[in-house]
Amino acid sequence: MNPNSRGRCVLVCVVFIALFSVFSFRLIYLQAIKHDEYAGLAAKKHVYQQIIHAERGSILDANNEVLAHNVPVETVVADATHLNNVDAIIEIVSKELAIPAKQLGEKLNSDRRYIIIKRKVPAATASALREKLHASNLRGIYFEHDATRIYPNGSMLCHVIGFTDFDDRGIQGVEASMEEYLHGQDGYRFVEHNRAGQEIVPYRGQERAPRDGYQVHLTVDLGLQNIVENEIDAAMQQYSPQKATIILMRPRTGEIIAMANRPSFDLNLRSEAKPEQMKNRAIIDVMEPGSTFKIVAAAAALNERKLRPDSSVFCENGLWNFGGAALHDHRSFSYLTVRDILVKSSNIGAAKLALTVGDQKFYEYIRRFGFGERTGIELPGEINGLLRPPQAWSKISITRIPMGHEIGVTPLQMTAAMATIANGGKLVMPRIVKSITTPEGKTISSLSPVVLRQVISPETAKEIGEALRGVVSDSGTAAAAAVPGFVIAGKTGTAQKVDPHGGYEHGKYVVSFAGYLPADHPEFVGLVVLDDAHTSKPELNYGGLVAGPIFSRVAERAARYLDLEPHEEIRKAIPVQRVEKSMPAERGRKPAPVERIALTNASQN
Amino acid sequence: MNRSRRRNCNAVNAASLARWIVMTAFVAVAGLSYVYLTLQLYHLGERRKAVENELVRLRTQNDIASGQIAALTSRSALQRRQKEGYLTMIPISEANIVRLTIPARAAEEDAIQPVANPSTTR
C-alpha cells in the first residue's frame, strides 16, 4: 500500500471513529445522563396516576341505624388526546347528561387534557352513556367511580349529623367534626394506555389500595330522637315559636340521646335550606335562661353552708328595691325556705341567696357549673355563652343573674348544669360520639365518660334535687310537667326576650323547662326551650304551662321506650291484682297506663 | 461410481448437525414461548381488567341496593308509609293458607311414652 493510500485509510478511520464517538457520547448522554428526564417525559405521555377513591365512612346511631351513608355515582371525564370524533361525542354526551352542546363543546375544545364533564352522575345514566359510546366506537370519555352522600332520615337529627360539601368534605355537624375519621385515604394506581385509550394491564405501575373512612357511632338513639322530633313538631304547630330546642342527655355518662332544633331542614335537600334553618341552636344560640338558673344560686348558697334547705329567707312581699332598681316576684311572698324559693320560683329569694355567697363566689359557682365555656361536645361551632366577670357587673347584677338575666347560656350548657344536680354534683362532659369503628366493625376508639369536676357536694345536689321535685307538684310552678307513674325533678324558666337594640322585648318570652327522671336514679335529663311561643292568652306564656307539658309528654314516652320502672311508692300503691290482669306476665310489676295517670309528683309532694 | 468421485464426497457430521438442530429448535421454542407468554400476559391482563370491572359493577350494585334498603327502612320512610296506610296488619284469608296434609297416625303413637330411645339390646 502506498503512503497516500495508507494516509487516506487512516483519515477515513479517524473520521469514522470520531463520528461513532459522537454517536456514542450522545447515546450515553441520552440513556444515562438524561435518562430520568426523558423517561419522565415518556411516562407523562402514556402513564397517568389513576386515583382510587376511598369511600367515606357511615354515621350510625347508638343501635346501628344508618344516619348517613354513600351511594355510588360516577364522574364523567374526558382525555382530550384520546377523543376521536369530538362532534359525535358532544352530540351523545350532551344528550345523555343533559348538558348544553355549546357548553360541552367549549369544555372539550379547551387546552386542557383532563376535562371533568359532569360529577355525581347516577350509575344507571353513566352505564347508558358508556354503552352508547361503545356502540358508536367513540373514544376519549372515561368514567371515574365516585360516591354521593345520602341521609335516609331526611330532616331528622339534621343539625347533629351535618352535611358535606361538593368535594365530600364535612362542613357541618358530625360530618365536619369527625372529618378526619370519616374521610378515608384515597389510593392510586399508575396505569398506561394504548392508542385506543385502553389500559395496558401488564404495564401497571405502582399501586396503593384506598383506605375507606371509619364508621362513626353516635350516642343518639333514633327511637328517642323520633319521640323528640314528633313532640317538637307538635309544639311548633301548637305554639308557633320562632325557635325551639329539645335535648335529652344521660347524666351519668354525658351521652346526648336526642337533640332536636326547629327550624330544621332536609339533609338531602340542603342546597334549598336557608342559613337560619341550618343552625344547631342547642350549641350556638345564646339565651337568657330565666328561672332555671336559680338552681345555681341555691346550689352555691347551700354548698357554702351559708343556709340550709329549711332556712327562711324574707322575700320582701313581692317587691324589693335594691341598688336603686326594683325587683319583682310574680306573686307576693313573705318568708320562704330555700327549698320553696325554687318551688315557687321567687326572684327576690334567689337574689338573696346569691347575695349570701357574694359576687366572686357566685361567679365561681357559675363557672364551675360550666357556664361561660364550651362544653366540649364533638360538634363544631359551639360557643361559650355570655358571662361577664364580677369586675364588669353592675351593682344590681348580683340580683339579676340568679334569676337568669344578664347572662347568656346555650341550651346544652343548661342541660349539663341540670345533669350536674341529677348526677350527685358531678359535671360530666356532654358527648355525641360513642365510638369509631372500621367498616368491618373493629373498634378504633371508644369514648368514655369524662367527669370534668365535682361542682357541689352530693349532699347539696340531693337537697337541690329534693327541692326540684316540689317544682313539679301542685304547689310548684310546673305541675303540668309531671310524668304519670314517675317522680321527676325539674325547674321552669320564663325569660323576657332580649331586644337586640337594648332592653327587653315586650310580650316576648323564652320559656323553658329542665328536668330529670326518675328523680331518685335519673336515667335522663331533658331540656325544652321555646323562643317566642304564641299562646291563646299572653298570661299563659310561662315555662311551666308551655314547656312543662311538652317535657311531660317527651319524658313519658321516653320512659316507656327505655322501659323504666315506675317509682317504687307509686308501684306499691297500685293494686297488684288489677295490674296482673291488664299487663303481660313480664311487665306485671308495672302499673297500667290508665292507672299511672293519676299518680304523679302531685300525690308525692 | 469411480474412485476419484468418491474421494471428493464429505461425510456429514451427524453430531454437529444434531447439535445445530437442537440449538435452533431451542431458540425457536424459546422465541415462540416468549411470544406465547407475552400474549398470555396481555390476555390475562384483559381478563383481570374484566374481573375488576365486574367486581366494581357488583360492588356498585350492592351499594345502590344498600342505599335503597337504608332509605326504605329508615324511620322516616316507615313512618311516612304508616301514615299513608301502607303498613297495616292484614289478616291472611283462608284461601291463601296452604295446609299440609296431616299424616295418619297409629293410635299407639299418641300414647304417653318415656323420653328415651327404645333399647336395641336385650
Q: Closest partner residue to A202 among B41, B67, B76, by Cβ?
A: B41
CB nearest to B75's CB, from A70, A123, A222: A222
Asked if residues A246 and A229 have their Cβ atoms less than 8 Å apart, the reply is: no
Cβ–Cβ of A65/B79 closer than 8 Å? no
Asked if A201 lies within 8 A of B46 by C-beta distance, the reply is yes
Per cent of chain A over pLDDT 90 is 63
pLDDT for position A569: 62
Of B49, B66, B77, the CB nearest to A199: B49
- Give the pLDDT band (50/70/90) at residue B105: low
- Please say whether the beta carbons of A270 and A167 come within 8 A: no
Q: Which domains does chain A have, with CATH numbers?
A: 49-218 (3.90.1310.10), 222-564 (3.40.710.10), 565-605 (no CATH)
Chain B residues touching residue A145 (CB < 8 angstroms): 56, 60
| CA-closest candidate to residue B67, choices A53, A62, A72, A165 | A72
Q: Which residues of B touch A150 (CB under 8 A)?
A: 67, 70-71
Contacts of B56 in chain A (CB under 8 A): 145
Please tell me whether residue A192 adopts helix, strand or coil conformation: strand
Sign of CA dihedral A436, A438, A443, A444: negative
Q: Do B63 and A226 touch (CB under 8 A)?
A: no
Return the amino acid letter for A405. Answer: H
Mean pLDDT on A407-411: 95
B86 to chain A, closest Cα gap in Å: 18
pLDDT tens-digit profile of A166-225? Answer: 888 999 999 999 999 999 999 998 888 777 777 888 888 888 999 999 999 999 999 999
The ranges assigned to domains in chain B are 7-88
A502 CA to chain B: closest CA distance, Å? 42
Number of residues that this document lists for chain B: 122
What residue type is B86 in one-letter code? Answer: Y
Statement: residue A27 has pLDDT above 90: yes
Mean pLDDT rounded to a whole number for chain A:
88
CB contact under 8 A, B45 and A70: no
| pLDDT exceeds cutoff 90 at A535 | no
Q: A494 with A345: CB under 8 angstroms?
A: no
HEC profile of A97-147 = HCCCHHHHHHHHCCCCCEEEEEEEEEHHHHHHHHHHHHHCCCCCEEEEEEE
Q: Look at B48 and A201 and tell me if their CB atoms are within 8 Å.
A: yes
Task: Test B77 with A200 for CB contact under 8 angstroms.
Answer: no
**CB within 8 Å: B49 and A71:** no
Asked if B60 lies within 8 A of A72 by C-beta distance, the reply is yes
Tell me which range, A100-104, A142-146, A495-499, A524-528, is most confidently predicted by mean pLDDT.
A524-528
Residue A602 scores a pLDDT above 70: no
Residues of B in contact with A65 (CB under 8 A): 74-75
Q: Which residues of A touch B76 (CB under 8 A)?
A: 152-156
Minimal CA separation from A577 to chain B, in Å = 32
Report how many Cβ contacts below 8 Å link chain A to chain B: 52
pLDDT at B95: 77
- Testing the interface with A: which of B39, B42, B54, B60 to mutate, by most A Cβ within 10 A? B60
Q: Could you say which DSSP state residue A13 is in?
A: H
Q: Which three cell numbers stand for residue B56?
A: 366494581
B82 touches chain A (CB under 8 A): no
Q: Residue A72 is nearest to which of B45, B63, B76, comparing CB atoms? A: B63
**Per-residue pLDDT tens over the stretch A443-483:** 999 888 999 999 999 999 999 999 999 998 888 888 889 88
Distance of CA A474 to the CA centre of its chain: 37
Alpha carbon A322 to its chain's center: 43
Per-residue pLDDT, B28: 97
Write out the residues of chain A at the interface with chain B, using a CB-CB cutoff of 8 A. 65-66, 69-72, 123, 145, 147, 150, 152-156, 199-202, 222, 226
ipTM summary value? 0.72
Instruction: Tell me how close the Cα of B81 comes to any Cα of chain A, in angstroms.
Output: 13
Residue of A nearest to B79 (CA): A226
Residue of B nearest to A204 (CA): B45
Summarize the confidence of residues B101-110 as an average pLDDT: 55
What confidence tens digit (pLDDT) does each residue in A234-265 have? 999 999 999 999 999 999 999 999 999 999 99
Q: From the CA of B96, how many Å to the nearest CA of chain A?
A: 31
Cα(A113)–Cα(A445) distance, rounded to whole angstroms?
43
* The dihedral formed by the CA atoms of A53, A54, A55 and A58, expressed in degrees to the nearest 10: -150
Cβ contact (<8 Å) for B45 and A154? no
Helix (H) or strand (E) holding A96: helix A86-97
